[in-house]
Amino acid sequence: MNIKDSKYIIPDSTPELELGPDWLKERRRSARHNFNEQPLPHRGIHLWRYTDPNDLIAFTHKAIDDVVDYNIPNEARKNGVIVTSLTKAIESHLELVEPHLYQLVNSESGKLEAENSTLWRNGTFVYVPNKVTISDPIHLTHHIGKDTSSVFPRTLVVVGKQSEITLIDEYEGGPETEENGHAHINGAIEIVGMEASNTRYISLQRLSHATRMYQTHRARTDKSATMLTIPLAFGGSLTKQNFGVLLDGAEAESRIYGLLFGSGHQHFDNHTLHHHAHGETNSDIDIKVVLKDKAVSAYTGLIRIEQETRNCEAYQTNRNLLLNPGTRAETIPELEILNENVSCSHGATIGSIDPLDIFFLNSRGIPTPEAVRMIVTGFFASTLKQVPEDLRERINVFVAERLEGV
């Protein structure tokens, strides 16, 4: 491949470079510069060992809008919660946007993040004022069109002090077959959880099997804030998602409880990062993977605890259930722990369903397909306990659909 190929260069004439106020245009131009000058990520480094970055660079830099539906509970509107496009928020609430935009995911984060930082168009902004508790979820649905396209979603979420929300961030759609090319998504998500806030962020990816997705999520949790991140992935032909939380104040807490179910020839590559930048913080990760047909999954999980950040607790588990031979799962825990005053553990399992479990359920009259469905649903149960009930029911339907013919 030729690095000077147009695929790897965002031209100066790109219309997105003219979007927004001057400071934003400047940020876009500098992001474009970073994209054009940076080499592709090196396949030797852990993050890119399992996926070719060539497959994730947009084939066209002609971006289209990210079509997003907002479902906002009434209590959220009444309490001053803002859900709108980033471009509108920059016009109407610049003071709320400017301190946070590009703080966590920007053109320094990597070549693909530079691509998003240049080319995002409308974006999404969610703002929750201080001391607001919204019990029903705010639900964003990103609709990807049936035609081949490049979309660069960028989402900024700011949760005020002592506030509490659930945000569902759903991605659906895309071409049904790759006959006329695939849809391409490169997304960036920035979430700020201010002091003593409580944020539950649920990412639901159920794109078509002709859609490729790259996504970098970074959240910051301040003092005494909690962040629960729940990545749920079912779709896409090639999905590389990177979920990371910066624990940035004493007693900040982050949990990432994810699940994915791959089938056909789907390829998943997930990374998580827990960065303990402050002492007295704790984190927990539990990623569950089920694969059937020829699906593959790679998971790398990094826990980083700084030298001066003491009394941290960090746990990480990755479990992989392979439903048939021909599937493949990789799991790589990575610990960068620079002091000894921590409590830390990690564990990983890769295996198939125990035939004895199937026999036990059979011996109670339950046919094998139903037994498999029970075991897989059971495997996911502790994760799905963390999501609202109607979403849990939808997920169980997706799981049952995936298991047809097993």
Partner 1 sequence: MSHNNALLDFENVHVKVEDKEIVKGVSLTIHPGEVHAIMGKNGSGKSSLSNALAGHPAYEVSSGTAFLDGKNLLKMSADERSRAGLFLAFQYPVVIPGVTVANFMRTALKAHRGQDADMSDFRKLFRAEMKELGVSPDFATRYLNDGFSGGEKKRIEILQMAMLKPKIAILDETDSGLDIDALKKVAEGINRFHSDQTGILMVTHYQRLLDYVKPDFVHVMIGGRLVKSGGPELALKLEDRGYEWVEAEMSQGSGK
Residue 379 binds to partner 1 (criterion: CB under 8 A): yes
Residue 176: how many other CB atoms lie within 10 Å? 11
Question: From the list 11, 80, 264, 378, which residue makes contact with partner 1 (rule: CB under 8 A)?
Answer: 378
Residue 325 binds to partner 1 (criterion: CB under 8 A): no
First-last CA distance in the chain: 40
**Of the ranges 7-15, 88-96, 191-199, 362-370, which one interacts with partner 1 (CB under 8 A)?**
362-370
Region label for 110, one of left (φ > 0), alpha (ψ between -120 and 50) or beta (otherwise): left
Q: How many residues make contact with partner 1 (CB under 8 A)?
A: 24
Residue 366 binds to partner 1 (criterion: CB under 8 A): yes
Residue 386 binds to partner 1 (criterion: CB under 8 A): no
Question: From the list 2, 325, 364, 405, which residue makes contact with partner 1 (rule: CB under 8 A)?
Answer: 364
**Of the ranges 126-134, 156-164, 237-245, 376-384, which one interacts with partner 1 (CB under 8 A)?**
376-384
Residue 359 binds to partner 1 (criterion: CB under 8 A): yes
Q: In the complex with partner 1, which residue's Cβ is closer, 23 or 360?
A: 360
Q: Is 357 exposed, middle or buried (0-12, 13-18, 19+ CB in 10 A)?
A: middle
Tokens representing 206?
């159920």
> Do residues 189 and 216 touch, judged by C-beta distance below 8 A?
yes
Least CB distance from residue 384 to partner 1, whole Å?
9
**Of the ranges 7-15, 59-67, 143-151, 364-372, which one interacts with partner 1 (CB under 8 A)?**
364-372
Tokens representing 5?
């190929």
Question: From the list 47, 167, 375, 403, which residue makes contact with partner 1 (rule: CB under 8 A)?
Answer: 375
Residue 55 binds to partner 1 (criterion: CB under 8 A): no
Q: Write the secondary structure of 273-334 as one string of H (helix), E (strand) and C (coil).
A: EEEECCCCCEEEEEEEEEECCCCEEEEEEEEEECCCCCCEEEEEEEEEEECCECEEEEEEEE
Residue 365 binds to partner 1 (criterion: CB under 8 A): yes
CA 242 from centre of chain: 6
Least CB distance from residue 326 to partner 1, whole Å?
21
Nearest one of 247, 242, 172 to 207, comparing CA atoms = 172
Question: From the list 130, 311, 362, 396, which residue makes contact with partner 1 (rule: CB under 8 A)?
Answer: 362
Least CB distance from residue 402 to partner 1, whole Å?
16
Residue 354 binds to partner 1 (criterion: CB under 8 A): yes
**Of the ranges 50-58, 113-121, 246-254, 357-365, which one interacts with partner 1 (CB under 8 A)?**
357-365
Q: Where are the beta strands (DSSP E) in 119-210?
A: 124-128, 138-144, 150-151, 154-159, 164-173, 183-193, 198-207
Residue 396 binds to partner 1 (criterion: CB under 8 A): no
Residue 381 binds to partner 1 (criterion: CB under 8 A): yes
Residue 5 binds to partner 1 (criterion: CB under 8 A): no
Residue 374 binds to partner 1 (criterion: CB under 8 A): yes
Per the listing, tokens 């699940």 go with 259
Amino acid in position 248: D
Nearest one of 263, 275, 277 to 404, comparing CA atoms = 263
**Of the ranges 43-51, 97-105, 273-281, 373-381, which one interacts with partner 1 (CB under 8 A)?**
373-381
Distances in whole angstroms, Cα of residue 57 to Cα of each of 5, 142, 218, 241, 297: 12, 20, 20, 14, 20
Residue 356 binds to partner 1 (criterion: CB under 8 A): yes
Nearest one of 318, 319, 328 to 295, comparing CA atoms = 328
Residues engaged in binding partner 1 (CB under 8 A): 354-357, 359-368, 370-371, 374-375, 377-382
